[in-house]
Amino acid sequence: MDAFYASVEQASKPSLRGKAVIVGGLGPRGVVATASYEARRFGVHSAMPMGQARRLCPNGAYLIPRFTLYRQVSDLVMAMLRELSPLVEPLSLDEAFVDLEAGGAAHDSASARAAGERLRADIRAATGLSGSVGLAGSKMLAKVASEEAKPAGLLLIEPGTERELLAPMSVRTLPGVGPATGEHLRRAGITTVGELVEAGEDELVRMVGRAHGTGLYRMALGLDDRPVVAERDAKSVSVEDTFDVDLHDRVRIRGEVQRLADRCVQRLRGSGHSGRTIVLKVRRYDFSTLTRSETLRGPTDDPAVVREAAARLLEAVDTTGGVRLLGVGVTGLADYTQEDLFAQSSAAGSGGGDAGTGGTAGTGGAAVTGGAGGQGGPEAADGVSGAQEGPEPPGAPQEAAERRWAAGSDVRHALYGPGWVQGSGVGRVTVRFEQPGSEPGRVRTFRVDDPDLEPSDPLPLVGDVA
């Protein structure tokens, strides 16, 4: 899907169509999750600090993520993919591999191209959004083709043309070649895939090690025999918040951990799982990261049990100096719940072990840093391992009670109907009243405590069959 989060926002907010839209965390430590193509012309891109994005594109629309809506659209698109083949391997909410041959949707280049064009048209008709399709004989090449096809295109790599296509491309095109490896290769005079091939396998092994060097050489030749693996099971469920200001109050920290535990259980239940290992993550003022875990005697989805375990784990962590991030997760997932409540509560006697320490900054796991939410206006990030996830929209009950109105969140007024928050401050909130498929709507301003204004769930997108 093309600029997925931003494209969903443009489709659901008619006044933003054709304009620069940036989705991500809105606090001082916020990070861009997705930028529309209009915003990318100003140099804005994902993973960029939000402050830098605002300097590059001061007139853009800056919105919190609405993952409830993104998941709904993603589920619709993934269902279309599964109609093509039983072998669909999701990489994230907006990307997946599909084995077309396994589903009988394609047996040669012509039928593959036809299937890809039908898919793009069906996605447009159902959602109003555009997607790009890469067709090739392997996962790596299909990924390369889909990136080359963006936005809103289709590229088929004919068998036998792989090396010719890859040769002039940057080494960063290949999976596993990040900034560090790319810079290491550049110093050796290797900047293109063709130059990787010329260097030879032995030289690459000498430069980056046997496993990485052999893999790089095979990819440079266009060789990738990894199969498409259907629907990977989630291994963990987690939520975390990064705070605008470091937390020092121990009572406040305990309260945040309890809130995160409740959100984690909501997501755990939503995925149809229970879990037996509770994990607490604490990133301190100096960016050092601690994790503590406690394994229960059986899987649970009881919020009280998870809260109690997380509280016990917190007691073993020194928060002197301040805390910038907190997270609660559950691993060891199962699709049933341990009914023996005594087994759950008796686990309180078992101590939590240190699952490791680190010193990296930013959002951990598979989660994407999100927008304002929770107490104190932290960035938020929720995740189910294996797919990029993010915060629930500000319509969540705990935020409604605090009357916080984050830009981009859904609302409903008793008189004017559905709309979304353009901004708030100085006791006022500005709302644009429009909805998917409507004309750009009017803007009105209310007191933040206006009783007629309430948080709302997102409205579904309206497809475009034109």
Residues known to be catalytic = 95
Q: Please check whether residue 379 is in contact with residue 371, taking contact to mean a CB–CB distance below 8 angstroms.
A: yes
**Token representation of residue 54:** 């605002």
Distance CA 361, CA 383 (A): 17
From the list 325, 318, 322, 327, the residue with the least C-alpha distance to 362 is 325
Query: Would you tell me how many other CB atoms lie within 10 Å of the CB of residue 40?
Result: 18
**Token representation of residue 50:** 């939000």
Backbone angles phi, psi at 316, to 5 degrees: -90, 5
Q: Please check whether residue 9 is in contact with residue 34, taking contact to mean a CB–CB distance below 8 angstroms.
A: no
Query: Would you tell me how many other CB atoms lie within 10 Å of the CB of residue 153?
Result: 16
- Residue 397: partners with Cβ closer than 8 Å, 6 or more residues away: none
Q: Which residues of 318-334 are buried (b: 16+ CB within 10 A; e: fewer)?
A: ebeeebbbbbbbbbbbe
From the list 392, 418, 240, the residue with the least C-alpha distance to 326 is 240
Label each residue of 52-77 as H, E or C.
Answer: HHHHHCCCCEEECCCHHHHHHHHHHH
**Token representation of residue 48:** 């960029």
Distance CA 327, CA 308 (A): 15
Angle, CA 279 vertex, CA 277 and CA 283 arms, to 5°: 170
Q: What is the DSSP string of 345-357?
A: HHGGGSPPEEEEE
Beta-bridged to residue 294, according to DSSP, are 278
The identity of residue 34, as a single letter, is T
Q: Order of strands across the sheet with 236-247?
A: 353-358, 289-300, 274-284, 323-334, 236-247, 379-384
